Amino acid sequence: MKYSYISHLVCPKCSETYNPQEINQLCVCGSPLLVEYDLDELGKNVLKKDLVGRSASLWRYHELLPVVSEEHVVTLGEGMTPLLPMPVIGGDMDIPRLYMKDEGIIPTGTFKARGAAVGVSKAKELGIKELAMPTNGNAGAAWALYAARGGIKSTIVMPVDAPKITRNECAISGSDLHLVDGLISDAGKIVGQAVKDFTLFDASTLKEPYRIEGKKTMGLEIAEQMEWKMPDVILYPTGGGVGIIGIYKALTELKKLGWVDGKLPRLVAVQAEHCAPIVKAWKENKLESEYWNDSETVAFGINVPKALGDFLVLKAIYQTDGCAIAIEDDALLKEQKKIAELEGAFICPEGAATFVAARRLREQGWIKENEVVVALNTGMGIKYPDTVTVDVNVLQKSDFIIK
C-alpha cells in the first residue's frame, strides 16, 4: 500500500498543474498551489477501519498527506488533540452541543505545529537545506523548531511586538532570527528580498503548498472524533486563513471518499474588530479582500491585514453557507476569563474570539439551539502572558497565625 496517494499540484485560479516531487512555490499566475490526491485509487485501497490502531498523531492519515516516503517524516508527536465537550460555557450561551477542538496541547503549544510538521517533512523530502519565513510569532516558532529537528536551517522575521516566548523559541532552536518594527506584512517584504538575495526556500503562508496539508488534519480529526458525522458549524480564528482553508479541503476530500455523510459544516471565519479584511469582503459579497490599514489586536495571531489566500477563505465560507464575524478585544478577553472560570481551560485570545462569535451567532439565531458546534482553540493561553492581568494580595508573615 502506498504511503501517500499524492497526485499533483494545481492552481485554483488558472488550473495549471505542477509536479509535487519538484520544488514549487507559487503558480506562475501568482496564486498559491493546492495538493491533489488520487482519491479514486485511495478509496479502493484504504478504508476508515484501517485507521484503527494507528498512532495517535496526524500521520495516521498519511495516505492523505503529501510526504511520499515515511523516512522523511519529521515529527514531535503532533496531532490527535482532544475534542472536548464544553457543557458549562455552552449552557451559558444556550449551545448545549458545544465542543472545543483544543490545539493548545500540541507540540510548540499551537496548531502551527501541524503545518510545520508536514511542511518541513516535505521540504526535507525535496532536499531543501534552508528556509525563510515571516511570522506573527507562533508559526515561526513552530517552523524553527521543526526545521531544527529535520536538520534544516531557518531564517525567521517577526514583528518586535510578537509574544516574547515565540521569539525565545526561535532563538533557542538556532534559527537566524530578525525583528522588525512593523507588521507581518513588513516582515514578509524583508523575507521576500532575502529569498531573492540568498536563494532561500520561501516558507511564507501559502507560498509553499504543504502547510495547508498539515492544517487540514484538524478537519480529518474532527470528522473521526465525531464518528464520521459532520458537525453543523465550525468556528475558526482567521488571520492568514490556512486553517479554515485546510479544514474545508479535508472535509471535501472525505466527502469525495464517501467517509462522511451529510452537508459540510457551515464555516465561520472569526477576525478581530480592528483587523477584519475577510469580514468586510464577505459582507460586501466580494471574492477577495482589501488591505486593512492600521491593523491592531491583542489576538496577535490573527493580525494579518491581507492574506494571500483570502479568495480561498472566502470560497470556503460561501461554499458552506458560512459567515465571517469580527470581535472586539475587550469581548474576547472577557470570554477568555469566563472560559477559564467555567471550564478550567486557559485558551489563547484567538481561540476566545471563536467563543464570542458562537455566543453572538446564537443570539442572532444563526446558530440553532440543538446544532453541533465546534470552536477551535488554536493555542495555549500561557503563550500570551501579557494579555492577562491579575490582582494578587501578597500576604505578609504576620498575616499567618500559627496554632
Encode pLDDT of 165-221 as tens digits.
Answer: 999 999 999 999 999 999 888 999 999 999 999 989 999 999 999 999 999 999 999
The pLDDT assigned to 239 comes to: 95
The pLDDT assigned to 392 comes to: 72
Write a three-state SS string for 199-246: CCEECCCCCCCCHHHHHCHHHHHHHHHCCCECCCEEEEECCCCHHHHH
Tell me 127's DSSP state: T
Check if the beta carbon of residue 202 is closer than 8 Å to that of residue 132: yes
In a domain, 36, yes or no: no
The pLDDT assigned to 399 comes to: 66
In CATH, what number is assigned to the domain containing residue 319? 3.40.50.1100
Check if the beta carbon of residue 313 is closer than 8 Å to that of residue 269: yes
Place of cell 474570539: 353
In a domain, 204, yes or no: no
Quote the cell numbers at residue 250: 479535508
Cα 283 to chain centroid distance, Å, stands at 23
The pLDDT assigned to 94 comes to: 98
In a domain, 240, yes or no: yes
Q: Which helix (H) or strand (E) holds 17?
A: strand 17-18
In a domain, 344, yes or no: yes
- What is the maximum alpha-carbon separation in the chain? 81
Q: How far apart are the first and last CA of the chain?
A: 72
CA angle 165, 351, 36 (to 5 degrees): 95
Q: Which residues of the chain have pLDDT under 50?
A: none
Check if the beta carbon of residue 12 is closer than 8 Å to that of residue 288: no
The pLDDT assigned to 387 comes to: 84
Place of cell 496539508: 213
The residue range of the domain holding 354 is 83-109+211-385
The pLDDT assigned to 15 comes to: 98
In a domain, 98, yes or no: yes
In a domain, 104, yes or no: yes
Measure the CA–CA gap between 328 and 376, rounded to whole angstroms: 18
Quote the cell numbers at residue 298: 491583542
Check if the beta carbon of residue 219 is closer than 8 Å to that of residue 236: no
In a domain, 241, yes or no: yes
The number of folded domains in the chain is: 1
Strands in 34-37's sheet, in edge-to-edge order, are 17-18, 6-10, 34-37
pTM for the whole structure: 0.95
Burial class (CB in 10 A: 0-12, 13-18, 19+), 213: buried
Radius of gyration of the chain (CA): 21
In a domain, 337, yes or no: yes
Q: Please name the residues in contact with 399: beta carbons below 8 A apart, sequence gap of 6 or more.
A: none
Report the DSSP pairing between strands 153-159 and 130-134.
parallel
The pLDDT assigned to 182 comes to: 92
Summarised one tens digit per residue, pLDDT across range 97-111 is 999 999 999 999 999
Measure the CA–CA gap between 276 and 140, rounded to whole angstroms: 22
